[in-house]
Structure 1
């Protein structure tokens, strides 16, 4: 049996691959949102760099003063300059951080919020192709990727390059041979790091990141399906399945870390070359009488500063690359247009009596060769109760998804109260359609929040009134914390019938003109089914209702029954009429009664 997680990186959820430049451009957009904070952070960082560049000069002046046995007052003045330069660097650098911190925190907050909003806007197909755990992992990793990139570019790499080039130029002016050596080594160091990191390290880092996302997907898949795991006694099997994923990640991340270590070795060899070149050239110049002790002190201090910055550059180039890779998925999502988008300037849907019309609709799923619906037309009158029956794959569920505009059509139009569903905003359209699914998924929040989800500004009295209509109020009061009881992930703390009644209460409170019931009683015991059916009957009053029927016994009271086969309505009428015809419905009914 194949491991489905192997295919995760090939789905539309990944939207690879962006260049480093594209990801950096995505992150830079957040810097530009707060120009004052960013400008003050950059400005103060440049001032701190000025102090850093002055340190070798202050060191050389102090050593020359002492070596030449100048007046004590002059020596103390040089000492004060030496100490003052470092103190100024420390204070200004600390002040700069006071502006980088709020900039980073606010931008990380916005990146996460906007990434989540983008994911929410993607189509049902996109989410079906994605592992929820992997998506969560990518979002949280991108937030910290932003932090790594910002720190690397604005706090370390940018200042580091300025200091290194500045010191090399100062060295070139003071001792040309030492200056040439330092410039050559600095340029080589930067070029090697950037090229090797992108060409050698990045491919393996992307691979280990993808496997890190697969760990999140595998964990979420098993944890959310824990009741199924337990029912089959499959804990060991799931542990072994996860172990395969983590083993693949381990192998990939070891390659990545080893490649980072290879780069680190090259960096240190270049540092040795810089150290040997600078000090050797200065000793040679001193031996030939062209360098003073202050020049030697200048070179040694400059090397200490340069070696520190170069080490930081190496570390931060790696941090920069990792941060760019971590943010890449969210940057790619940002470039990905929603698969189902609102038309420019689309107005909100205006709820009416609930008339529905399919007008010459042609629809094909993306993986299908032939269309499911081909020039399909149908009208549902306001307040009519319509039942959809037929075998699996006949188009019943697709009918409801198209009414909600969870997919776009290839041709034709769907109108609700005369409004083309593709021309109004999706959110307003879906608020006008209440859905009670066969297996309601509740949020791990209180019952009060779950019932009020369709009307978040509802009062507690309104929530309780909806629960009474749904026959849910009594069982809720028996729970330890009543309406404040947390229901567990997907509502696992409630029984199937309790979840159904909560979903019906939610629909009552939403008070939408169109109602969709996806066989809300098919998996319940007889007593609970009666309670849910009574609640559903009350909910249907005065609403256009579409019932997806899996058991024909539940649709006998429908105003009209539509029998679907391969995307076409082959029969329609009331229960008694269709049964008497002796056609498809009569055959399905006979099978249903035989099973019952």
Structure 2
């Protein structure tokens, strides 16, 4: 195991997750072990043993032609049975290994998806999406790699040592003892050198993850790369990460080569010893020809198996290094988690209360206070605008309502129910969320609209699109509702994406609505169409509208002005303008009233 306690823990934790998934299919795992042992015992050791008996019988004297089957019949039958059994074990090993990898990889993929899907937005904000995908793929591949190493070479090596001892000790104990001592030296040296280079594999895996992250970042933001002519800059960043991968892989290669050369030298010594014993075995110990064949065959088998230990250890190093990234993710505590006794949220009206809220971010050990003893009540059915300067806490407040982050102190109530005591899924299904950048999947327009209500009929999807002012442009597309939107909806304009997001919210028909800068990135014509759709969407719902454009919130029932995490002003548009405070100043700047 690695010397670094943290790395040792990661290795043990990786084994924990792998065993957890394997234990669910214990029958397959046991069948794999037994079939591997049977395959090795019968074909690698049973065949040579029967052949040694045949050689010994031949050396005793010639056999008449008509007595061949009488004398050698039992040996022939034994060889046939051994080979039938060995081949059966071989095919059973193939099946169980393949099947086990399929079902366990399914469980590992599910485990990884659940961990990533249920992590907080804070967790995802601090990581490359491409790196997480890469780590998940490597984690699953590492299990396959580890199982392959167990079935070959490590289990065959163990079998070889046991069978060689069991079969040679009774007939040539001195030779067997010397052979076992040399093999023990071989194993110890391999293990010591393995420990020394384990960290090189982890560093190589880390460099590969960084390379994947750089590639993902550049591809995800390819429009910015091209429009700013920064291809050379991104290439330089990628090349730097790529060179780091080359450097780490080269160090790992040379360390593995050094270990391989050392163990190869031990193999030469072992074969030299067996040559001496075979040459003088009959003269010194009266060893029969059949036993000499056994000594050579078994020694050759076990040393060949040991030769693969180097490759096996290298593959284990790589497997644990590759798996370490996602293992750390799986061990990461959930910043937002359901309480053990969490119950579904039931919304009948949609009243929202923020009571004595204290919330702060912790980044790099630095605590940034956002809300301190914050209070805000929103009656059911009221449409409320949140305005203020950037950093005032508008978007953060909506994220706390959605439990994309958890408050440290206080309560957030929906119809009198503390959201921290309800399940996250039930909470978010009662809130239709429309962000500034529409969140579309690389799927059809119909699937995107029906995402919040997948059982909706095509007619219901069409009606939601009509109410969202999206029907006209959708039906003008060649494939209509079956048009694939592209990654993040890249095939559609900003206004089109936003109207599809509004159609999704309309179809979801949630009692609470959160609009976070839903029109800020649109042109005037698109904004008018979207604004009209939003008016329909807000009817009869409790709505929280975050906006920098005050024209978006001017017609709402109430406007709350946030300043440094506090409510500085609260009231209808006309009242706040007449008051002449912070809101009036913002309104005048945006409408040009000062100029007039």
2:97 pairs with 1:106: no
1:190-205 matched pairs, under 5 angstroms: 190-197=187-194, 199-205=195-201
Structure 1 partner of 2:21: 30
2:351 pairs with 1:331: no
In 2, Cα distance between equivalents of 1:19 and 1:417: 44
1:300-315 matched pairs, under 5 angstroms: 300-315=296-311
Question: Given the alignment, which residue of 112, 115, 140 partners 1:118?
Answer: 115
How many residues are matched?
581
Partner of 1:590, secondary structure, is helix
Q: What CA deviation, in whole Å up to 9, does each residue of 1:461-509 have, x standing for no partner?
A: 1111110110111101111211111111111110010011001000001
Deviation at 1:562, TM superposition (A): 0.8
In 1, Cα distance between equivalents of 2:158 and 2:314: 15
Q: RMSD of aligned C-alpha atoms?
A: 1.9
Cα distance, 1:369–1:339 mapped onto 2, change above 3 Å:
closer
Partner of 2:519, secondary structure, is coil
1:190-589 matched pairs, under 5 angstroms: 190-197=187-194, 199-367=195-363, 368-589=366-587
Partner of 1:545, secondary structure, is strand
In 1, Cα distance between equivalents of 2:452 and 2:191: 52
Structure 1 partner of 2:3: none
Deviation at 1:234, TM superposition (A): 1.8
Partner of 1:348, secondary structure, is coil
Deviation at 1:541, TM superposition (A): 0.3
Contact 1:497 1:529 in 2 (8 A): yes
Structure 1: unaligned runs, 5 residues or longer: 1-14
Contact 2:362 2:368 in 1 (8 A): no
Deviation at 1:237, TM superposition (A): 2.0
2:51 pairs with 1:54: no
Structure 2 partner of 1:42: 33
Deviation at 1:19, TM superposition (A): 4.2
Contact 1:560 1:573 in 2 (8 A): yes
In 2, Cα distance between equivalents of 1:505 and 1:480: 20
Contact 1:153 1:320 in 2 (8 A): no
Partner of 2:279, secondary structure, is helix
Structure 1 partner of 2:590: 592
Bigger Cα displacement from structure 2, 326-335 vs 225-234 = 326-335
In 2, Cα distance between equivalents of 1:248 and 1:351: 54
TM-score, scaled to structure 1: 0.93
Deviation at 1:578, TM superposition (A): 1.1
In 1, Cα distance between equivalents of 2:318 and 2:368: 44
Question: Given the alignment, which residue of 160, 167, 170 partners 1:170?
Answer: 167
Deviation at 1:105, TM superposition (A): 0.5
Structure 2 partner of 1:10: none
Deviation at 1:212, TM superposition (A): 0.9
In 2, Cα distance between equivalents of 1:532 and 1:404: 23
Deviation at 1:568, TM superposition (A): 0.2
Cα distance, 1:53–1:441 mapped onto 2, change above 3 Å:
same
Partner of 2:405, secondary structure, is coil
Cα distance, 1:529–1:546 mapped onto 2, change above 3 Å:
same
Deviation at 1:589, TM superposition (A): 1.5
2:177 pairs with 1:180: yes
Question: Given the alignment, which residue of 14, 20, 30 partners 2:11?
Answer: 20
Q: What CA deviation, in whole Å up to 9, does each residue of 1:345-394 have, x standing for no partner?
A: 21111122110001111111113535211111110011111111111111
Partner of 1:434, secondary structure, is strand
Partner of 2:295, secondary structure, is helix
Partner of 1:547, secondary structure, is strand
Q: What CA deviation, in whole Å up to 9, does each residue of 1:147-171 have, x standing for no partner?
A: 1111212453123212223203422
Structure 2: unaligned runs, 5 residues or longer: 1-5
Bigger Cα displacement from structure 2, 442-451 vs 37-46 = 37-46
In 2, Cα distance between equivalents of 1:182 and 1:87: 31
Deviation at 1:83, TM superposition (A): 6.1
